[in-house]
Structure 1
Amino acid sequence: MVESERLRIIYQLITNPESVGGAGITPKKGEWENVESLFALHDHVYNKEWIKKWSTQWLLTPEDLDDIRNRLGEKIGFYFAFTQSYFTFLIFPAAFGFLAWAFLGYFSSIYAVLCSLWCVVFTEYWKHQEHDLALRWGVRGVSSIEAPRHEFKPAQEVTDPITGEKQATFPAVERLQRQLLQVPFTIAAVLMLGTMITTCFGIEVFISEIYSGPMKSVLVFLPTVLLTTGLPLLTGILTTFATKLTDFENYETEFPYERALTRKIFVLNFITSYMPVFLTAFIYVPFGSLIVPYLDVFSLAVKPFAENEKQMKAPSLPSQFTINPARLRKQAIYFTVTAQIVNFAMEVIVPYAKRQGFIKIKEMQSARAQKAGGVAPSAAAEDVPEEKEFLARVRSEASLDVYNVYDDLREMVVQYGYLALFSVIWPLVPVSFLINNWVELRADAIKICVEMQRPTPWRADTIGPWLDALSFQSWLGSITMSALVYLFSNDGIGPDGNPSDIKGWGLLLSIFFSEHLYLLARWAIALAISKIDSPGRQRSRRERYLMRQKLFDESLDQTHRIPPMAEKGGQITRSSLEEEARSISLNTASPEERFWNRQRTWRESAQIGTGYIDRALPEEKEVMAEKKEL
């Protein structure tokens, strides 16, 4: 038994309900509300060796992934396997992206086709690899084993028609009614987030394209400040509401709960991550000359700094405004380079600095209170000397955050979306992601070892609903990139040299052909990849073969135990018949022996069968003769 299985079993013995043999300890709930958390302590010796090994290693080997699975469980193992596979696959788009940037320029149709094909190959190959890893780790099908949720509130108890046991359930109709609340939630999220993003987008366009007054170079960052402060706050509120809504849907088991919550979180992240680029690509460029004259409403944002009205006056005629084709490229560079660096700092560096700062502040407050006198003794003051170091370590790790692997998966899926949807804008996007993900793999390992409590090693056989998100983004990318190539060809100003001359039928035709080519390619690639053999599949076939062979040998062994039929009728003697009758009367004969004792010998059976055949032959001959006469 590997360490992750041992820790998982211990955790389940502690937290499972008493009705299934557990202790029923649920932190922060009910009678256990004073229990903060349950977690295993870090193995610091292993963590140091792990980080040191990864810092000098270019790629992760299958043995490295097995080691992660053995230590942290299959769910985290699948995340690292996915990130490693994604990183390896990025080498190909990074190579032809660099060549496209150097020789083909921006919005290359060749790059768009190759990138869409790469997305299909990657998603289909990951499905294949996911299946192979599940077989390798012996967890194939564990997602169908439903782990009960402690937060489930049953509405009634029914008798299971199969087992006859009492089972707590929740009516499916009532849950469906609650699930329908997702519709107004999605609409509200789109309106709220969309309004904020669109407003900041309009202010940014007004300041950068129209405003000509003082402090323009500083005011242009105003929308960024508004988004940086307001968007995380609004997203946090909506995420909390999405969690409450998923809790209200009252799922019995963990997997459907995680799937429902993931879908809601994906919608929020899709809006916040991609909407600014969509606005620039499909609103600003095609209709910018028509919309800009109405942006005077945003003059309030810069009115205190303007010297006169002329500096805030938008052009009255569409012909007086010129579209900035480089705007979209700058936006793509920001989201795929700058934002990735900022996200890395917010994920790894800032939490560490913040935690160290809090520790220093507490130490200073404690020292100041001791000098003033009357300070209350800390909990550590009553520790037994021989346990002092251990308890200090426990308190230190208890103050750490709880690791959620879905946060890191969400980050990778959002990054993949930028590549699948918008990399045709700037072909060096995969190069940036290739460098980022090499660092990300090691940063996540450090984060788990240093900044987080040791995760509970849960089993899994997939990355869950995020796989559906990857497939969705790959499909949407085939539509988006074809539209971008059509809109921004001819050096980014449209197919005819003027965005106003873009034909709607041409755009729709490009999207139509691109989507259908994508669907055809996905079918062909999925069929081809399904034929690829792998060690996991070979192992599965070997196990099935050995099982069939074992069953066959057992069946053959049973046939050898059946008593043989008498070969000659003359071997049946009076003494043998008396012995058989005696054994039958004493009930010592086997069922097979009693059956065959009631039968005739095989020679007599053959004679009777031959007689039946001979009697049937004349009838057949007569029928054939009648047919010939006819």
Structure 2
Amino acid sequence: MGPSTMSPNCRHTVQIKTTLTEHVPFGRYGVLGSTVQQITILRQAHEGPKLAKLRVQLGRMTTFKVLISFISIAGPLGVGWFFLDSPLSDLLLPKPKLGFDQIIEMASSALSGSHNNFYADYVIQYNYANTEPTKASEELELLLRKLWEVGLQAEVRPGEDSNLLVFVRASRKKSLRRAIYQSRIRDWLHGVRNSEPEDESSAEPQTESERLRIINHMITLPHNVGGAGITPKHGHWKNVLAVFPLHDEEKNREYLADWSKKTFLSEEDLDQIRGKFGESVGFYFAFLQSYFKFLLFPAVFGFSCWLLLGSFSIIYTVVNCLWGVIFIEYWKRQEEDLSCRWQTKGVSVVRSKRREFKPEREVYDQVTGETRGVFPATTRLQRQLLQVPFALVALVALGAIIATCFAIEIFISEVYTGPLKSYLVFIPTILLSALIPTMSGVLVSIATKLNDYENYETQTAYDTALTQKIFVINFITSYFPILLTAFVYIPFASLIVPHLDVFHLTVRPFVSKEKATTAHENFTINPDRLRKQVIYFTVTAQVVGFAMETIVPFLKQRFAREYKEYKKKKYGRVNSGLVSETQKETQHSYDDHEDEVQFLTRVRKEADLDDYNVTDDLREMCIQFGYLALFSPVWPLVPVSFLVNNWVELRSDFFKIIVECKRPTPIRVDTIGPWLDTLGFLSWVGSITSAALVYMFNTSTNGPNGEPSAIKGWALLLTIFFAEHLYLIVRYVVQATIAKFEPHNVRREKTEQYMIRKRYLEATLGARSSDEEEEVTAKDESMELSDLTRKSLEDDTRAWSKHNTVAEERFWMRQKGWRESAQVAASIIESQAKPDMKKQQ
């Protein structure tokens, strides 16, 4: 395997665990085209770090972690060329020659973008369709000047549909290093980083996502914090439609081909996702991977219970609830481990303020010494109380639609016996498809306005609050139909169905009044309806959702591009004879350069793609987990369906990111956000619904109309009460047990924190001890015993009387130094010794 191609001015780092037993000259490693910056040898934790400039010299066998950093200065350079013996790109180093036990980490941190993207870091999409040409030119001139002021170079190219594409890159490396250094200083001040960052001249991005994140801050942050202040669709920049990074198609194809062959993603794969798309996407794929692995046990156990025990098994229900608790607590530890590994723990405190935030007053921060705007928590709490009526309105509005369509469906499918029944059963589906999205859109709009009114300071807090409001809508639309079937239709259908004749109105437009007949007397409850409904939501709906999420958007994009090309060709043919020579020359001046055609064509396609929102994928997984926690006792094969679905989801979501969406701007997070609390809430609700379902349907005896028999209200409530309290006890035990197992990266971070403090303490105490030794050596306050005379004692007595000393001070002045104290101790011992011991002496 040959050396990989890299752009000039790239910094590369290789971290290797090695055992060295002899003097190894550094010259053995140096190669052409590279300038070695430093070799950092990290000894075992208790020994601290050492820095070697030219050679590694060890006198005894010790295991080290070696971090080698070097900069390429001679054009394209393979990482493997840095080592003469074997290319590092193969991840193989001959042990006999170099003594490397294993490669811990290998990373290259480029100072510029990918050569596949012409080294462009970001594209700013500017639309001038509804703006006067003069004003548009002035705005664009201001935009370019703002970019130049923060050290970003820009190139403008024509886009499609009255759009301009402004390509941005960090051409001034000094400005990029300064921005990186300032970002790391903020992290250090807020406790995200353990050690103080290196100096500004050597600050370089560790991953591609860090570089893109820093450059995005340079573009979008306000001017007073070092940014250009360009905010898409906001304020002065309403004509800026988007600011997005470009996909690296070559790398994306490699990742997709590699991961499609694997069952599980490795830690290195997750690191690559994080390094490419940022921590928010990395956390989502890590969660999906953990969830997929955890589904293996309930899938096997559920399949066994389905064969041996059937539905509504008490054993399966208990194990399923316990599994849910263990998974949630395990993921909490995984989150902590990943946040330490990716150095994002506590990053939420570094968030910048939202531009829409409206402080009520400004106060002086005694900690930072800065003046900052605040919004009283009590005022926000009063506004947050509006969430209660919002939830009730959502429940009534969506619940009424779902319940009405549900009743219509029951009437047509199980009561109505007239003509066209096979076609009329689709009426409820049509009504749901039309009304639920409309009402959900209205409620989301209300939730957004309510969220704006609550006036959150940071974007993270704003997104969390909005996610919680929208989840109320998702909960109702996802689970309410099954809850209606389980707790309304099956127990009380015999009481409700006779009153459903009102729904004759739904079939009146299609059949005559005489033919619209019903049969109440022959109606019996269909106990299998609940199982079929669960199968639909956990199998059929998952397949439909996959198609709507991945396949349909892909086909729509293909057809839209082909239709656009067709319109261009048709318009060109129609107007080819009507365009003057001057107009042809003008049109030709905007044609792409020959060596840019392929690149600009790809960028224009990316500009038309939708934005990727990781929240949508997390919401999908949490709703899926809810089906498993709430209703899987109805059909124990639910985890089997989800296991297969998530294996596909793991790959289709990555395909969606790289093909159907713009490349997401990297965002640092240390958790999956409010969805972790959502998982806990669903697990708790699942303990209630599962216990109720098992109590109601575990017995095989049904009443004369098919309803479950022997249901006692007090027994149902008692079952729910004990199940919920047992769940809380089990959750506490699981939390206490898992808390005893500390993740590796958390332990490593604590070790680093301890070592930093220890080295600081040793340096401080070492300086003090050396000063004290010099002072003691220069002047020993202890007098020789021979110096103790009557005159010296009289002098001390006179000094005490002059200074008016008190008893406490005189207590410490009676003995002059350690020698006199030793003499006094000896005299006391001698005077109090027993007579027989004196004789022996």
Whether TM-score is above 0.5 comes out as yes
Within 2, Cα distance between the matches of 1:148 and 1:609? 69
Tell which deviates more after alignment, 399-408 or 185-194: 185-194
Match of 1:590 in 2: none
- TM superposition shift of 1:230: 2.1
Distance 1:608 1:73, change over 3 A: farther
State how far apart, in whole Å, the 2-side matches of 1:56 and 1:283 are: 46
1:460 aligns with: 669
1:204 is aligned, of 392, 409, 414, to 409
The amino acid of 2:694's aligned partner reads V
Name the structure 1 match of 2:654.
445
Q: Distance in 1 between matches of 2:534 and 2:503?
A: 24
The yes-or-no answer on 1:552 pairing with 2:758 is no
Distance of aligned partners of 1:379 and 1:188 in 2 relative to their CA distance in 1, 3 Å threshold: farther
For the pair 1:158 / 2:373, whether they are aligned, the reply is: no
Deviation string for 1:230-253 (max 9, x for gaps)? 212221222222122212222111
Deviation at residue 448 of structure 1 after TM alignment: 0.4
Residues 155 and 168 in structure 1, CA contact (< 8 A), matched pair in contact too = yes
Aligned pair partner of 2:818 in 599, 603, 606: 603
Per the alignment, residue 482 of structure 2 pairs with 277
- Structure 2 counterpart of 1:382: 590
Give 1:493 shift: 3.7
1:508 Cα deviation (Å)?
1.0
8 Å Cα contact 1:214/1:305 also seen in 2: no
Contact 1:494 1:502 in 2 (8 A): no
Separation in 2 of the partners of 1:494 and 1:543?
67
Aligned residues of 1:325 and 1:492 also touching (Cα < 8 A): no
- Alignment-derived partner of residue 621 in structure 1: none
Residue 430 of structure 1 is matched in structure 2 by 639
Q: 1:39-96 CA deviation, whole Å, 9 max, x = no partner?
A: 1111111100011011111101111111111111111111000000000000111011
Pairwise CA distance, 1:544: 3.1
Rounded to whole Å, the distance in 1 between the matches of 2:705 and 2:413 is 26
Q: Do the aligned residues in 2 keep the contact of 1:75 with 1:459 (CA within 8 Å)?
A: yes
User: Contact 1:139/1:459 (CA < 8 Å) preserved in 2?
Assistant: yes
**1:299–1:312 contact (8 Å) kept in structure 2:** no
Which structure is higher in RCO with an 8 Å CA cutoff and minimum separation 6?
1
Give the letter aligned to residue 479 of structure 1: I
**Identity percentage over the alignment?**
54
The structure carrying a bigger helix percent of its residues is: 1
Matches within 5 A, 1:184-333: 184-306=389-511, 311-313=516-518, 315=520, 321-333=523-535
Moved more, 599-608 or 50-59: 599-608
Separation (CA, whole Å) in 2 of partners of 1:329 and 1:278: 12
Deviations 1:526-547 (A, max 9, x none): 1111112332133123213322
1:27–1:34 Cα contact (<8 Å) kept: yes
Shift of 1:496: 13
Q: Which amino acid aligns with 2:570?
A: R
What secondary structure, in the 3-state scheme, does the structure 1 residue paired with 2:667 have? coil
1:150 CA displacement: 2.3
Q: 1:542 aligns with which of 732, 751, 770?
A: 751
**Is the partner of 2:372 in helix, strand or coil?**
strand
SS at match of 2:338: helix
1:491 aligned partner: 700
TM-score, normalised relative to structure 1: 0.88
Q: How many residues align?
A: 589
- Equivalent residue for 2:616, pick from 404, 407, 413: 407
Aligned to 1:39, the other structure's residue is in SS state: strand
Of the candidates 561, 564, 569, which is equivalent to residue 783 of structure 2?
569
Distance change in 2, residues 1:605/1:322 (3 Å)? farther
Q: Hey, what's the Cα distance between the residues in 2 that align with 1:249 and 1:184?
A: 15
Q: CA deviation at 1:490?
A: 2.1
Task: Give the alignment of 1:23-34 within 5 angstroms.
Answer: 23-34=228-239
Q: Partner residue of 2:258?
A: 53
Call closer, same or farther: CA 1:403–1:601 in 2, change over 3 Å.
Answer: farther
- Structure 1 residues 157, 572: closer, same or farther in 2, change over 3 A? farther
**1:87 maps to 2:292:** yes
Q: Are the structure 2 counterparts of residues 382 and 322 from structure 1 closer, same or farther at C-alpha, using a change threshold of 3 Å?
A: same
Residue matched to 1:595: none
Q: Does 1:334 align with 2:536?
A: yes
Gaps of 5+ in 1: 574-597, 619-630
Cα separation, partners in 2 of 1:171 and 1:414, compared to 1, 3 Å: same
Q: Which residue of 1 aligns with 2:282?
A: 77
Q: CA deviation at 1:379?
A: 8.5
Which amino acid in structure 2 is aligned with residue 207 of structure 1?
I
- Residue 625 of structure 2 corresponds to which residue in structure 1? 416
Q: What letter corresponds to residue 783 of structure 2 in structure 1? A: G
Letter in 1 for 2:621: M
Partner of 1:577: none
> Are 1:182 and 2:387 matched, yes or no?
yes
- Cα gap change, 1:498/1:280 in structure 2, threshold over 3 Å: closer, same or farther? closer
Q: CA deviation at 1:497?
A: 8.2
Structure 2: distance between partners of 1:495 and 1:130: 53
Deviation at 1:564, TM superposition (A): 4.9
Q: Please give the secondary structure, in 1, of the residue aligned with 2:247.
A: coil
Q: Deviations over 1:581-617 (max 9, x none)?
A: xxxxxxxxxxxxxxxxx99962366269869x97xx9
Shift of 1:228: 1.9
Q: Distance in 1 between matches of 2:481 and 2:824?
A: 87
Match of 2:766, SS state, is: helix
Counterpart Cα distance in 2 of 1:38 and 1:161: 37
Find the aligned partners of 1:361 and 1:546 in 2 and give their Cα distance.
63
Q: Evaluate the alpha carbon distance shift between residue 243 and residue 513 of structure 1 in structure 2; reply closer, same or farther with a 3 A threshold.
A: same
Amino acid paired to 2:291: Y
Distance in 1 of aligned mates of 2:443 and 2:786: 89
The verdict on how the C-alpha distance between 1:357 and 1:283 changes in structure 2, with shifts beyond 3 A counting, is same
Deviation at 1:457, TM superposition (A): 0.7
In structure 2, relative to structure 1, the CA distance for the partners of 1:542 and 1:300 (3 Å cut) is same
- Following TM superposition, by how much is the alpha carbon of 1:153 offset from its aligned partner in structure 2, in angstroms? 2.8
> What's 1:353 paired with?
555
Q: Is the 8 A contact 1:213 1:307 kept in 2?
A: no
Secondary structure in 1 aligned to 2:362?
strand
The residue number in structure 1 matching 2:717 is 508
- Contact 2:333–2:743, Cα closer than 8 Å, also in 1: no
Distance 1:324 1:161, change over 3 A: same
Q: Within 2, Cα distance between the matches of 1:601 and 1:416? A: 78
SS of 1:490's partner is coil
Which residue number corresponds to residue 72 of structure 2?
none
CA root-mean-square deviation: 2.8
What amino acid is the match of 1:33?
K
Q: 2:742 aligned with 1:533, yes or no?
A: yes
Q: Give the Cα–Cα distance (whole angstroms) in 2 for the partners of residues 519 and 153 of structure 1.
A: 40
2: distance between equivalents of 1:145 and 1:345? 39
How far has the Cα of 1:516 moved from its partner? Answer: 1.4
Letter in 2 for 1:360: E
Looking at structure 2, the residues matched to 105 and 88 of structure 1 have their Cα atoms a distance apart, in angstroms, of 24
